[in-house]
Amino acid sequence: MNILIIGLGSIAKKHIKAIRALNIEASIYALRSSLLSGTYKGVTNVLSIEDIQVKPNFIIISNPTHLHEQAILESLKLECPLFIEKPVLSNIKNALKIIDLVADKKIMTYVACNMRFHPGINYIKGYIESNRLEINEVNIYCGSNLPDWRPGTDYRKSYSANEDMGGGVHLDLIHELDYCVWLFGIPLKVESVKRKVSTLKINAIDYANFTLSYEKFTVNIILNYYRIDPRREIELVCSNDTIVVNLLKNRIHSTVSGKVIYEEPFYMSDTLESQIKYFIDQIETKQEPENNLEKGVAVLKIALHE
C-alpha cells in the first residue's frame, strides 16, 4: 500500500503511528515544502506530487486548516481517495465548487473526526436508540488548556492559536459539533457566541457557545481553550433520568440512581486506529465513508454559523 501525507505535523505522525499499529505494509510519502524540511523515520520526503513514482492508495491531508483547500485541489490530480483531517476547510467560500469537482472525478472522501470511534459515544448512540429516551435537553462541554496540548512548544505560534491559519476553538474542537450531528442530525436552528477574551491572549477564538435547536429538545455546546482541569462530557437530561457520558474516563452513569451504565478501559489512540481501519475498509469494499466531504462541510457551516 502507498500512502501520501500532506502536512507532517503532530496529527500526521499520530496517523502514521495508527497505520503501523495495524501492521499494514505501507510505503509512506510526505509532501514537504523544502529540502530543509526534517525527516521522519520510515517516511520518504517528496517536494511535489509529480515526484511520486507510484500512485497512492490514498492521501492524508493533515496540513494547517487554511491550506486544506489548496491541498484538496492539488490532490485531485492523482484521482485517489482523500482522508482529510478535520475541519475539512477553514471557510466555505469555495466549498460547493470543491464538492462538485470531487463528485465529477468520483473521488472517495472522508473527513477525519475520530470521536465517532470513541466507544462511549458509540455506546450512548445505541443506548439512545434502543431505549427510546425522551430527551428534554443535551449539554455538551469540552474544555482543556491549549498550552498543555503540545509540550515543549509555544502554544501562541501553533495554528490553533492563529485565526489566519484556520485556528480557533470552534474549528479545533469541531468534534463536539460533528458527533452531535451524528447522534441527532442537522439542527433546525443554530445560534452561537464566539469570543477571544481569555487570559491566553491569542488572536483566535478561545470560547464558543452553540445552541442547536431540534424539534423536541435543545443542545447546548460549550468549547474552550483555557480550562486547566480538562473536562469532556455529554449530559442527557431526560424525562426520568439524567445521564452523563464522561468522554475522558469512558464512563457513563445515571445521576438519579448513581448506577454506572457503561465503563471500559480506553485510550484515545484506539480511535485513530479504528478510524484508519474503517477508511481502508471503505476503500477496499468501495463503499462511500459515512462522513464524506459534503457532510464535513455541513458541520463546518454550523461551526462557522454561516
User: Could you read off the pLDDT of 118-130 as tens digits, one per residue?
Assistant: 999 999 999 999 9
Q: And the C-alpha cell for 33? A: 515544502
Q: And the C-alpha cell for 275? A: 478510524
244 vs 142: CA distance, rounded Å: 13
Distant-in-sequence, close-in-space partners of 153: CB < 8 Å, separation ≥ 6: none
Tell me: the pLDDT tens digits for 245-263?
999 999 999 999 999 999 9
Buried b (16+ CB within 10 A) or exposed e, 136-168: eebbbbbbbebbeeeeeeebeebbbbbbebbbb
Average pLDDT estimate for 237-248 = 97
pLDDT over threshold 80, residue 36: no
pLDDT over threshold 90, residue 223: yes
Strand arrangement of the beta sheet that strand 82-85 belongs to: 43-46, 27-31, 2-6, 58-61, 82-85, 109-112
Percent of the chain with pLDDT over 70: 100
According to the model, what pLDDT value does residue 38 have? 84
According to the model, what pLDDT value does residue 53 have? 84
pLDDT over threshold 90, residue 33: no
Q: State the DSSP code for 159.
A: G
Which phi and psi (to 5°) does residue 30 adopt? -125, 125
pLDDT over threshold 80, residue 102: yes
Q: What percent of the residues of the chain are helix, what percent strand, and what percent coil, each to the nearest 5?
A: 35, 25, 35
Mean pLDDT taken over the chain: 95
285-23-12 Cα angle (round to 5): 85
pLDDT over threshold 90, residue 187: yes
Which pLDDT band, with edges at 50, 70 and 90, does 107 fall under?
A: very high
pLDDT: which is higher, 165 or 173: 173
Which phi and psi (to 5°) does residue 147 adopt? -60, -20
Which pLDDT band, with edges at 50, 70 and 90, does 34 fall under?
A: confident
188 vs 42: CA distance, rounded Å: 47
Which pLDDT band, with edges at 50, 70 and 90, does 103 fall under?
A: very high
142 vs 153: CA distance, rounded Å: 22
Cα dist. 150→145, 160, 165, 268, 272 in Å?
10, 11, 17, 16, 18
107: Cα separation from own chain's centroid: 20
Q: State the DSSP code for 52.
A: -
According to the model, what pLDDT value does residue 3 have? 98
pTM: 0.94
Average pLDDT estimate for 270-277 = 97
Q: Which amino acid is at 304?
A: L
Which phi and psi (to 5°) does residue 26 adopt? -140, 140
Percent of the chain with pLDDT over 90: 91
Helix (H) or strand (E) holding 187: none
89-101-281 Cα angle (round to 5): 75
Cα dist. 241→44, 96, 140, 207 in Å?
54, 42, 17, 29
Q: Exposed, middle or buried by CB within 10 Å (0-12, 13-18, 19+), for 23?
A: exposed
Which pLDDT band, with edges at 50, 70 and 90, does 146 fall under?
A: very high
pLDDT over threshold 80, residue 306: no
According to the model, what pLDDT value does residue 220 have? 98
Which pLDDT band, with edges at 50, 70 and 90, does 132 fall under?
A: confident
